[in-house]
Amino acid sequence: MSRVHDMGGRFGDGAIVPEAEDDPVFHEDWHGRALAVTLAAGALGKWNIDISRHGRECLPPVDYASMSYYEKWMAGLAGLLVDAKVLTREELAQGCAIGSSDLTDKRMDANKVAGVLASGGPADRPSDVPVAYSVGDMVRTRKINGNRHVNGGHTRLPSYAVGAVGRIVMIHGTHILPDSSAHRLGDAAEPLYAVAFAASELWANPEHPKDEVVLDLWQSYLSAAT
């Protein structure tokens, strides 16, 4: 039920290579360009952050695993542009524009960049769903993971935390549900919590009895545990 991006806890990866604090922000010129093209295309307003994440997650596993970070961004963006009918497959294949666009008034000009980056895109929304849990309550995550609206759809419960019992440590208010928003099914906002799990609840051989992992989880991912 998971996709290739859901890698928390996976075995087989090598050592981590730390970077100096003063290393360049972008190691190649095209990395910065890839980030900037993605943000500028996002400003056209044809998709939200959940749709764009799901676009990257839907890359074929062999591509996702072999691509570098910004290659995944570019591949995801190509898919979004075609899905949202901003560009056609023919335009991508030809490498040039064919025909005009009705979105040109949405273009983010250079003088708008600072304002757009500073205003952000908050994810909290009003909701009719009552808050069911309090700080300190014990909850269990879904035993079977996966999007309940769209088979193979976007969800934010990592596989490593499926069917686990944890403790509510924060209530973040009511937030857009990615499982809905990623598929243009509406915000469907509901309560969001930080839930702490003992490492021994998640791993066969936890490193230390006092360690915990905390995840942000939506109310519909949870049920009361006694």
126-155: contacts with other proteins (CB under 8 A): 149-153
The residues near 216 (Cβ < 8 Å, ≥ 6 apart) are: 156, 172, 192, 193, 194, 195
**What is d(CA 219, CA 136) in angstroms, rounded to the nearest whole number?**
15
Residue number with CB closer to other proteins (183 or 226)? 183
Taking CA 153 as the corner, what is the angle to CA 62 and CA 64, rounded to the nearest 5 degrees? 15
Three-class DSSP category at 193: strand
Residue number with CB closer to other proteins (85 or 224)? 85
Using the rule CB under 8 A, is 225 a contact of other proteins? no
Instruction: Answer yes or no: are the C-beta atoms of 213 and 196 closer than 8 Å.
Output: yes
Query: Which 78-97 residues touch other proteins, going by CB under 8 A?
Result: 78-79, 81-82, 86-87, 89, 91-93, 95-97
- Interface pick for other proteins out of 1, 106, 138, 223 (rule CB under 8 A): 106
Residue number with CB closer to other proteins (93 or 226)? 93
Tell me how crowded residue 88 is: count the other CB atoms within 10 A of its CB. Answer: 14
Using the rule CB under 8 A, is 120 a contact of other proteins? yes
Taking CA 9 as the corner, what is the angle to CA 12 and CA 211, rounded to the nearest 5 degrees? 130
Query: Which 182-201 residues touch other proteins, going by CB under 8 A?
Result: 183, 192, 194, 196
Using the rule CB under 8 A, is 10 a contact of other proteins? yes
H-helix or E-strand containing 36?
helix 29-42
User: CB 131 → other proteins: shortest distance, Å?
Assistant: 15
- Interface pick for other proteins out of 25, 128, 134, 144 (rule CB under 8 A): 25
- How many residues touch other proteins under the rule CB under 8 A: the total is 115
> DSSP H helical segments within 158-224, as ranges?
178-181, 199-202
H-helix or E-strand containing 214?
strand 212-218
* Amino acid letter, 108: M
User: CB 136 → other proteins: shortest distance, Å?
Assistant: 16
- Interface pick for other proteins out of 58, 139, 162, 164 (rule CB under 8 A): 58
Instruction: Answer yes or no: are the C-beta atoms of 143 and 225 closer than 8 Å.
Output: no
User: CB 137 → other proteins: shortest distance, Å?
Assistant: 18
